[in-house]
């Protein structure tokens, strides 16, 4: 069953989720990506790389920590590019959504109605190479286990100290993606499992919009 949602106001919550979208009219195979700036049951503010126009219809896919949510939407307003990133904010209203996807959206937003926050970590299983740049050290292979626009949780074969600066390379079929970050925390010795990789929290350094866009695309394309 599909719900057609009326244009009415819903509470909005600051939440950053990666988005894939396609223009519905005219039909096109081109896929764009971006990030939500805030989200509600009825719509969102999304940051995109290209400028769309009011009344453009979109098929959108939001990547959440509970799986993707797919909706149809319409652009209702377009803002100015946001320096220094260059991202362009767009206001969209959701026009059509299946009942199960509508419930998934409500379930996602319910905890935010009680304790608003923007941090949503998305589960992943991505192979990465980490090169310590300060202090310098040998490269390490690791696995990213969850990730958001601001950082990730990483398992490495040896412990790196908090404050260590890293260059992180995600190995994609299309092309490697490199981002910079810093170790924010490391799993304490008493909580480590002998022989197992060690958990690290990584905070991304300030990224330009191009890097943020590629991160969003990487996450949004995951199953």
What span, in angstroms and rounded, lies between the C-alpha atoms of 160 and 140?
10
Check residue 18 and give its pLDDT.
95
The reply to whether domains 2-114 and 122-220 share a CATH topology is yes
Domain ranges of the chain: 2-114, 122-220
The more confident residue out of 190 and 66 is: 190
Which residue bears the tokens 């394309």? 221
Q: CA 47 to CA 56: how far, in whole Å?
A: 15
Reported confidence tier of residue 142, pLDDT bands at 50, 70, 90: very high
Give the H or E element holding residue 210: helix 209-220
> Residue 183 above 90 pLDDT?
yes
Given this model, what pLDDT does residue 207 score?
Answer: 75
Fold of 2-114: Thrombin, subunit H (2.40.10)
What rounded mean pLDDT belongs to the chain? 89
Backbone angles phi, psi at 103, to 5 degrees: -70, -40
Of 42-56, 84-98, 190-204, which range is least confident?
84-98
- How far are the Cα atoms of 34, 85, 149, 199 from residue 209, in angstroms, in the given order? 10, 5, 11, 28
Out of 7-21, 138-152, 190-204, pick the least confident: 7-21
* pLDDT for the residue numbered 187: 97
Instruction: Look at residues 31, 22, 1, 111 and name the one whose alpha carbon lies nearest to residue 64.
Output: 111
Cis before 135? omega within 30: yes
CA 170, 82, 20, 51 torsion: positive or negative? Answer: negative
Task: Give the CATH fold of the 122-220 domain.
Answer: Thrombin, subunit H (2.40.10)
Q: What is the mean pLDDT of residues 26-42?
A: 86
Structure pTM?
0.86
Distance between CA 75 and CA 21 in Å, rounded?
12
Q: HSE-up of 60 (CA within 13 Å, CB side)?
A: 29
Model confidence pLDDT, tens digit, residues 75-133: 999 998 766 667 899 999 999 999 999 999 999 998 876 665 556 789 999 999 999 99
């Amino acid at each position: 069953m599909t719900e057609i949602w009326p244009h009415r106001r819903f509470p909005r919550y600051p939440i950053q989720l990666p988005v894939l979208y396609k223009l519905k009219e005219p039909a096109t195979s081109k896929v764009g990506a971006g990030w939500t700036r805030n989200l509600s049951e009825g719509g969102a503010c999304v940051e995109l790389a290209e400028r769309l126009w009011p009344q453009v219809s979109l098929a959108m896919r939001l990547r959440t920590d509970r799986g993707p949510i797919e909706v149809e939407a319409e652009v209702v307003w377009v803002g100015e590019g946001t320096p220094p990133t260059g991202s362009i904010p767009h206001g969209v209203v959701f026009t059509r959504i299946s009942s199960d996807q509508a419930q998934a959206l409500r379930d996602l937003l319910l905890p935010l109605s009680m304790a608003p926050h923007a941090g949503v970590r998305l589960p992943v299983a991505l192979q990465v190479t980490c090169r310590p740049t300060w202090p310098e050290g040998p490269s390490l292979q690791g696995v990213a286990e969850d990730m958001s626009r601001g950082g990730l949780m990483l398992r490495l074969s040896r412990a790196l100290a908090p404050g260590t600066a890293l260059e992180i390379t995600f190995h994609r079929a299309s092309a490697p993606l490199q981002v910079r970050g810093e170790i924010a925390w490391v799993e304490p010795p008493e909580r480590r499992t002998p022989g197992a990789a060690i958990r690290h929290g990584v905070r991304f350094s300030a990224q330009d919009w191009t890097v943020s866009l590629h991160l969003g695309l990487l996450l949004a394309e995951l199953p």
